[in-house]
Amino acid sequence: MSFSTFTDADFEAIHQQYAALKEAAEKRCAGQEELAVVQRAFDFANEAHKNVRRRSGEPYILHPIAVAKIVVSDIGLGYKSISAALLHDVVEDTNYTVEDIRNLFGDKIAALVEGLTKIKIVLDNEDRSKRLNEYTESIQAENFKRILLTLNDDVRVVLIKLADRLHNCQTIEYMPEYKRDKILSETMFIFIPLAHRLGLYGVKSEMENIWLRYKEPEAYADISLKIEENLAGKKERIDKFVEPIKRSLERSGFHFEIRGRVKTPYSVWYKMQSKNVPFEQVYDLYALRIVFTPDSSSGESEREQCYRIFSIITGIYRYKPDRVRDWVKHPKSNGYEALHCTLMSDTGVWVEVQIRSKRMDDIAEKGIAAHWTYKREGYLSENGSEMDKWLEKVKEILVSPDVNALELLDIIHNDLISSDIMVFTPKGDQKTMKKGATALDFAYVIHTEIGNRAIAAKVNMKLVPLSHVLKTGDQVEIITAENEHPKKEWLQFLHTRHARNVVIDFFKGRRKEVTESGKQLLFSQLESQGYRTNDASLAILTDHFQIPGRNVDELYFRAGLGLLNLSDLSTVLSGHEGKNHLWPFPWFKKSREKEAPKKAVLGEYVLASCCNPIPGDPVIGIKSPDGVTTVHKKTCPVGESIASKYGDWVVVPDWEDSVSEKSGFTVRLSIRGIDRVGLLNEISRYITLIMGVNIRKINLTTEGGIFEGYLDLSVQEKSILEKMIRKISTINGIQSVIRTDV
């Protein structure tokens, strides 16, 4: 922030932006009294931030105005939240206190502002230095814990914080690159999954696109251009496809609108990465949404009217049965409801169609805020219980004394990004579980004692072990025995936190026995790998395994339960001898030791083995206390996770100067096509003779005339790789050539 007297142009910009906010607020506020509170909040914040500027040079007050606009327009919150958004930086950045806010605006708005203020950790230099030397702690993890703790008070605080983060992303171009990387990593690891879980698809999508635009600018520009070119000239064909649907629904008496939805650059990029397919094989670029207003006089429920629309449109066009997604009968855990199907147009193109009621559409666009609005109006549906269950689960994790901030960050992140499956009891009762859950997880969902006494299960009438992984639609019956009890081995395949905690709690009653066995196991592993068991090695291991308070007994206990991977202790401990400090981050030492090729170490830089960056890739640096920087690709999930927790160690690496011209970097090209005689020879000839690139490994298989596999190459830089991909793609028979992780 900086200070300078506002100009007439500044005052005009403030006036215009507030006028747009006021117009949006008028549609959401119940009357003039609520609007008057918003006006007072703006006047107060405007005066408090007078002559203060953001890094971009614009008046600071434009930021809270923008956050308030997101709060009302994208999230759909009311006047108290709009006012809190306008005031959210006043307490932190000025001399006003929460008590001042309370006296002027009342308890609720003051509580929202206080919740937002508490989220931000403010440390003086001495305290900050002390905290940064405690390597096992993470300021960002503590910050995230504070964000989630506000769920116990008022979820609107989290929603306003999401709006604040979205606007910070929208204006991120004014940040230095290292700070951009830190903010975007936090955003991808924490805020995007949180927006998804709370049903805020608009907020989530915009954050994802901004992330891609700065993390992979070339990919973002290329995909955006291809989407534009792909859709150019298709309006006439789309109108022709829609016309018979429109006529039939009108004849049936429906009140509706049909909208188009274009897949975002990020969602296209993500599908290309996760499915290893080129842009040309992403088929659902465009989708149609039928949003209808239910007819209460028809005698049909909202759900039944959805199915009737489905029946009408599939009577016009042929549909793909395996592409039907019924989230009307079984809503997603974040409240999303819709009926999806894919229709074949008269021109031979598959088109996705989404059927939603007005209520479903509101919840799909505004998430939890819309869900609460309908709940207050007396409309209860299946999605409500799922949303409430998730919030209760988060609160349960937050109050657990056994979870430190870093563990919490990983637990919640994994929960946020997990998808759900629907399974059924023998009586047909539906249960929602995390994808990957086992039959034993299901047993603990039914009842703790059923889980504790389980010996086997029947899935779809077939006998299976307790470790059997469930899938959507399974009907599960648990077989129990009266004298059974939990086994330590169960922790190796239990997937849900609740079930794991029940089993761990059972063995806490036998803590002395488990701790002793874990101690003997750990000592044996250390000795077999050539290390002494002393205070230094145990301190390193408690740091590595993130044991709260570096409690050695807890280390033994977890080892005894089989919760720790003791197979790579030499990797964890090597390099510590003779040093006066501990490695702050176990992932750093681990990544260095796993870098087998010596050329991966470039002066003070180490190339991360998880993503294998090459010159020309957008990269992020993580600097350790000994001055060595690990270089990751900006889109590397491991690098993202580290930067989201330890943002103070993020740097902009100037590593390419350390690369000699003769250095080679291993990359993998996944390749697929139609097999023919001489094809492999043609590919290898181009790579080795024309491009002068060394092939380090070939793994190709052929079946039914189709070949697929990969080539590991040693290249000098990204431009050479891209030229090679373009050329190989033009060889007769090649369908796709994509760079993938080694």
Q: How far apart are CA 582 and CA 568, in angstroms?
A: 17
Q: What is the pLDDT of residue 372?
A: 66
pLDDT of residue 163: 93
Instruction: Report DSSP letters for 229-257, one per residue.
Output: HHHTT-HHHHHHHHHHHHHHHHHTT-EEE
Contacts with 52 (C-beta within 8 Å, 6 or more apart), sequence order: 1, 2, 3, 59, 60, 61, 93
Q: What are phi and psi of 225, to 5 degrees?
A: -65, -40
- pTM of full prediction above 0.85: no
Ramachandran category for residue 183: left, alpha or beta (phi over 0 → left; psi -120 to 50 → alpha): alpha
Beta bridge pairs of residue 141: none
Determine whether 452 is exposed, middle or buried from the number of CB atoms within 10 Å of its CB (0-12, 13-18, 19+).
Answer: middle
Structure tokens at 151: 């769920």
Catalytic residues: 92-93
- Residue 93 gets the label, from left (phi > 0), alpha (psi -120 to 50) or beta, of alpha
The reported pLDDT for the residue numbered 582 is: 35
Give the pLDDT score at 407.
Answer: 60
For residues 555 and 566, the answer to whether their CB atoms sit within 8 Å is no
Ranges of residues in the chain with a pLDDT under 50 are 121-136, 382-384, 575, 577-601
Summary count for the chain: helices (H), strands (E):
32, 21
d(CA 625, CA 129): 13
Where do the domains of the chain lie, and which CATH numbers do they carry? 2-120+154-215 (1.10.3210.10), 220-376 (3.30.460.10), 418-508 (3.10.20.30), 511-573 (no CATH), 586-658 (no CATH), 665-740 (3.30.70.260)
